[in-house]
Each structure stands twice: as C-alpha cells, then as structure tokens.
Amino acid sequence: MDFYGFYTGKIFDAYQFLGAHIEAGGVAFRTFAPGASRIALIGEFTDWQELEMHRIYDGNFWECYVPNAAPGEMYKYRIYRQDQSCVDHCDPYGFGMELRPNSASYIRSLSDYSFQDSLWMQKRSDCKDKPLNIYEIHFGSFKKPSEEADDWYTYTEMADILIPYLKEYGYNYVEIMPLSEHPCDESWGYQNTGFFSPTSRYGTAPELMEFIDRCHRSDIGVILDFVPVHFAVDGYGLANYDGTALYEYPHQDVGVSEWGSCNFMHSRGEVRSFLQSAANYWLTEYHIDGIRMDAISRVIYWQGEPARGVNNTAVAFIREMNQGLKALHPSAILSAEDSTSYPGVTRPVGEGGLGFDYKWDMGWMNDSLDYFRTGPAYRTEQYHKLTFSMMYYYNDAFLLPLSHDEVVHGKAAIMQKMHGAYDDKFPQARAFYMYMYAHPGKKLNFMGNELGQLREWDEKREQDWDILTYPIHDAFHRFMKDLNHIYLEHPAFWQKDYDTAGFFWNDCHQEERCIYALTRTADKERILAVFNFSDQEQEDYMLDLAGAHTLTLLLASDAQEYAGTKKYDKTVLQLEEGRAVFSLSAYSAAYYRID
C-alpha cells in the first residue's frame, strides 16, 4: 500500500492491504489503529482466544498472520485503549459481517465468483445520450417469502424474481438502497457498520456478484446507494475505533448528524482513503455500474445548513474522489442526492465542479408534487410551478427522482398525493407521469409507485401486489409499463436531454385552461406532448406546428385500456398548414410523433 497516499487521502485501494487477506497457507489480518495500546485478534480459528497483533510500518498499523484461518470463519479485533479498557470491533475493511445483533466479521475471498459480463462492461456508458430509466428498490421489501419482517429472499432468489420484472416493465437500471452491512433495519442501510461488507440479510458476497452479473447479462445496470457522510454509532463499528475519534469529529457540535449518527471527518486523509477505497471496491469487485451518494448537502455545507458555510475540506474530498473514480471507471455513473443550489455539482472537476454525472432535481420533484396536490380551481395560480424547472435545468445534468423519501414519514404515496377523491387520482397520476417522462432529464421511480400503491412504504412489508386484482390498479400498472417502453424506444425522450436543442415549449401560457405543450427532439425524431391538467374537458385547443404534416398518436393517458374514458379509433391526425386542433379530456396527456 502507498502509505503516504493513505495518510494524504490519495489512494483508492486501501482494502487490498487492510482487512483479512487469504494468502498461501493462511490469512493475514491488518488494521489501522494509531491510538490503540494493544490489539488482539480473536476468532473461530483460535476458539475466540486472544492472538497478539504486532505493530508494523510506522507503528500505526497492526498485523497478524494465522496459518490455520480459513474463508468463512469469523473474527474480531479486541482493541485495548490507552486506559487499558478494551472493545471488540468488527473489521472496518472486512469483506463480510454477521447479521445483527451479532457483529463479527467474516474471512471472505473476493475471487470465488467469476463474472461473465464482459460484453456489458465494454458497452456500458454514463447514459448521457441514452435512456436511463431507474427502478429504485429496497432489497428486502420488493417481495418477501412470508409476512415475517425479517424473512427475505436471497440475492440469488431475487435475480429470478426481479430481473424478469424489470425487463417486462421497461426499466433498464435498478438502484438499490444501501447493501453495505447495517445493524438497524429501520435505517434502510443508511447507517453503516460494514462499508466493505454486503449485508448478510440476503446472502453472501458471491451471491451478490452473481445477482449483478445476471442483471448485466440481461442488459440491466445496477446502481448502489453509498453513504460518504456518516456512520452508525454502534460500539463495535467505526465509532471511537481505537479509543479516539479516528473516523469522526471529536467535537459534538459537528460530530453528530441530524440522524444521531457520527459524521465522517473528511479533513483526515485516512478517512478520505477509507471512503474512496470503499466506493472503488464496489465498482471494481462487484462490477457495480454506478454510485448514488446520499446526503451530499451535508458534505457541501456544515451540517447541511448553508447558513453555517461551505465545508471546504469535505467539498475538496468529494471533488478528488469523483475525479479518481471517473479515472478508474470512466463509464460508471456518479449521482448526487443534493437539494441545495450549490453551483457546478455536475461540472467536471477540472472546470471547478464537483464531478458528478447527475444531480437529483429535488426542486422539480417538490414543485411538481405540490402542483398536483393543489385543487384544479387553484392550478391557474400555480401554473408556472411546472415551467420553472426549465429556467434552471441546463445549469446541471439533472435526474428526475420520485424516490423512497417521497413515500414515507407522513408524506403519502405518490398516488395519494394526487388531488381529490379516489377515482380522480388515477387520471391525474397518469397525466403526471407522462409530464415527468416528457420533461428532460433521466428518470427514477421507487418500487410500488407503478402499482398506484396507496399506502406509504414500510421496509417490513412487501409491496401491495394484491392491489393488481383491482381493475383500476391493474390498468395503471399496464399504463406505466407502456410509458416506460415508449420512453426506452424513442430517442426524442433522451438523446438530447442536456442539449437545448432537445426541448421546446410550444405553449406554456395557458394559465386559465391549465394546458401545456412541449416538443422533444432527437436527430431523427420529434415528439409532441400535450397536457390538460384541469378538471374540465378542453375543446378546440389549437396549436401551430411549423413544418408538420401529420401527428401519429404514441400514447394517451385517457385511453380506455388504461381505465380512461376515450376510445382512440383515429391515431393519425392530418394537419392543415401545420395547425393541429385537439379535444383534451380532463386530467389527460398525449404523445404524438411529428412528421
């Protein structure tokens, strides 16, 4: 290992030296604990008796070689502090961990699985000029074998269940909430103890590798949530690891996050090397296609509050990590969950940016959902909540998210957010989703949204698949399937997402009628999207489309097959001198190919 690089926060491969590594005839264990007075290795191979570890290099690293240790066996580090008290810790760089409430690390080989996804890896890209339709899931609650809260499908079983669903319903990427080991189910993986350990809830490291490999061989990319901001407070983890604040801030005012977890101290080179190595580990060893970094606002600003000022050392860390990861994995996707207006989140580091490929457009999400919560009588006043996003859209490369965060903690499910009674919610949701998919930017939708689910997400329960026995939910599910495939198959929706030539407002000044019209453009295709978000039918709506001769209907939200009210016998409209005339159902949307 490059020790100087480790201390200065420049390396991305610390996990190849630190941790438990299988060597000829045994296993070498190494840990970084400069504040420890003594460290003993305990494990199954010693019947949990202490085996002394020895200082190496500059005395801040500890090492022990065990000839009879074998893959699959458990171990811990018993770290003695300066006052001679001791705490048993899991390995910060361990490649596997026990399921909570147990906390031992596992010896694991990273070479037990051989990937067969070379074709995928060669053609993989950041999707800037390609479709990116992401299905976000919590691995343990997509589907469950039983109603027991801690009964889960394995990584292998989920490959059989999830991959056919993604293919059939038109998602080409899956984003998985954190799979690194965590002690509290309710944290959803966002408070980690094992940054290099795939959670044992769902199986082993080779089984996760197989899941990802099978996704790739089905042309599905895999994005993993990664948490570079904070970690769990559990005493066997990173907190106070060597008797000192090795990974966290020593001061409580900045050392504790709003979630009660420990904030990483990004000014320490050892912490930067740890986090960079963890991110690189998932991309390298598991062939993950992208990393979505959580809570980036808490990196940019102290405690996430702009009034406290920019955390310059943390911002420098993000820049250097992103730049390094893109150098190692040019085709991997790096996205930021960031609700701030901090400039240049997706600009290259060399141009003064943070170096992300995508930024979640939280402004679009909030404005759009607020609009659809609003009663139709008041949408005239709120009309430009749906146009405002295009005023800032080209400042960054945005991704449009309807994530898990929008369907928990009293916020209501997406379908519930639609204004009005039960029957009014479905046509509005169909029209809303067509607006989302016509709007520039890549797409992300959380599991259950596509069912028209009416309850908030609960990590202890699977999705309400039984609601598909109700015709209106089944029709909505079928609508979402068709919308997804329309998106994937038509370049106008994605080829020029970040080119001003790819989008045009045909009409965004129908405040009284709540009508909007826009055109999406690709090299060889133009698509018109027309929306009526009022609760009244809008007849004789005229639109001038210069140079257009015909409009061919691609998708209509009010079609009878989707539980709408219209039967579309005529799918091609002939235009006279480029003028189109529409009769728009209440709460409706339609896509037309322009010829």
Q: How far apart are CA 427 and CA 421, in angstroms?
A: 11
Phi-psi region of 547 (alpha: psi -120 to 50; beta: other; left: phi over 0): left
Active-site residue, 337 included: yes
Phi-psi region of 207 (alpha: psi -120 to 50; beta: other; left: phi over 0): alpha
455, with CB counted inside 10 A (0-12, 13-18, 19+), is middle
Whether 205 and 168 have beta carbons less than 8 Å apart is answered as no
- With H, G, I as helix, E, B as strand and everything else as coil, classify residue 334: strand
Active-site residue, 294 included: yes
Q: What is the 3-state secondary structure (H, E, C) of 340-381?
A: CCCCCCCCCHHHCCCCCCEEECHHHHHHHHHHHHCCHHHCCC
Q: How far apart are CA 78 and CA 98, in angstroms?
A: 17
444, with CB counted inside 10 A (0-12, 13-18, 19+), is buried
Which pair of tokens denotes residue 253? 């005012």
Whether 233 and 180 have beta carbons less than 8 Å apart is answered as no
Whether 550 and 574 have beta carbons less than 8 Å apart is answered as yes
3-state DSSP percent of the chain in helix, strand and coil, to 5: 30, 25, 45
Q: How far apart are CA 564 and CA 585, in angstroms?
A: 9
Whether 173 and 212 have beta carbons less than 8 Å apart is answered as no
Whether 530 and 567 have beta carbons less than 8 Å apart is answered as no
Whether 63 and 53 have beta carbons less than 8 Å apart is answered as yes
Which residue is catalytic, options 13, 175, 210, 337?
337
Q: What does the DSSP 8-state code read for residue 164?
A: H
Q: How far apart are CA 275 and CA 287, in angstroms?
A: 17
Which residue is catalytic, options 294, 357, 497, 558?
294
154, with CB counted inside 10 A (0-12, 13-18, 19+), is middle
CA angle (382, 387, 388) in 5-degree steps: 90
Q: How far apart are CA 386 and CA 589, in angstroms?
A: 14
DSSP per residue over 210-239, as a string? HHHHHHHHTT-EEEEEE--SEE---TTTTT
Active site residues: 294, 337
